[in-house]
Amino acid sequence: DVDDGNGVLDAIWGTTTPGAGDLLRLEGQVGNFIQNTLETTVALSGTSVVYSAVSDSLITASTGLDGIWIDDTPFIVEEDPFNATQFWSFGSRPRTTQNGTPVFVGGCSETPSGPSGGRGVFIGTTALYVSGDTVPGAPAPLSANSVDFDTRASANGTNNLAVLDIDTSSADDGLVAINGTALTLGGTLVQESLPIPVSVGGLGENWDNFDFVGITESGDNAFSGDTAGPTGAD
């Protein structure tokens, strides 16, 4: 947050090239939009800043529009067409490939201002995972809240790793997927309530939840989470 003397504004500070950082984005008018909130998740490619902003449209007069931006350019904005029959309802938690292709969680609705009918993970405008999909290796289809906000693609977009929600109970609906398939370690699915194999470091406990993820172009990957062991040892 920065104060320009007239009030506090959201700002993004950093650099897309080696060297000292600088002010990269500041909420305000950008083209035909008034950006009034910048989401705290920000991604830097080799040349651009990819971020989420809530904006008001000077063309349609619609307010509070959530969307994904690349520098000064709106990539997707709430109420824009998603396909011939649906509209974007939000775009959030953006990441990016090295060439500036956004990787984000988005939702769609049947009408321009309607509620989200589901959500998905997108790289550009290509869906990686969408509500209702059946991910190979997963025991149930993806739920309406199908994707967590923890998703990463490798630098060139070759590989991806995501935390997903399947349509089961809250005790076992979380799992990790890699490149469109449910992840296994030590021959066991990486899913809430399932045991962590001793061969990969398990101590007799079960997976409980999953958090941050990361993956490289070569496919090396990592994720963080929690187990169902007792507090202090989980």
* This prediction's pTM: 0.88
Continuous segment of H or E residues that includes residue 66: strand 65-70
| pLDDT mean over 3-31 | 90
Check whether 169 has a pLDDT greater than 80.
yes
Percent pLDDT > 90 in the chain is: 72
Taking only the tens place, the pLDDT of each residue in 79-138 is 999 888 889 999 999 999 999 999 999 998 988 888 877 889 999 989 999 989 999 999
Query: CA 153, 156, 162: angle at the middle one, nearest 5?
Result: 10
| pLDDT mean over 8-34 | 92
Among the listed residues 152, 106, 110, 113, the one whose alpha carbon sits nearest the alpha carbon of residue 131: 106
Check whether 234 has a pLDDT greater than 90.
no
- Do 96 and 104 touch, CB atoms closer than 8 A? no
Q: What is the pLDDT of residue 117?
A: 79
Taking only the tens place, the pLDDT of each residue in 192-203 is 999 999 999 888
Q: What is the pLDDT of residue 229?
A: 83
Q: What is the pLDDT of residue 225?
A: 87
| pLDDT mean over 53-61 | 96
Q: What is the pLDDT of residue 180?
A: 94
Continuous segment of H or E residues that includes residue 167: none
Kindly indicate the confidence band of residue 38, based on its pLDDT and cuts at 50, 70 and 90: very high
How many Cβ atoms sit within 10 Å of the Cβ of residue 32? 12
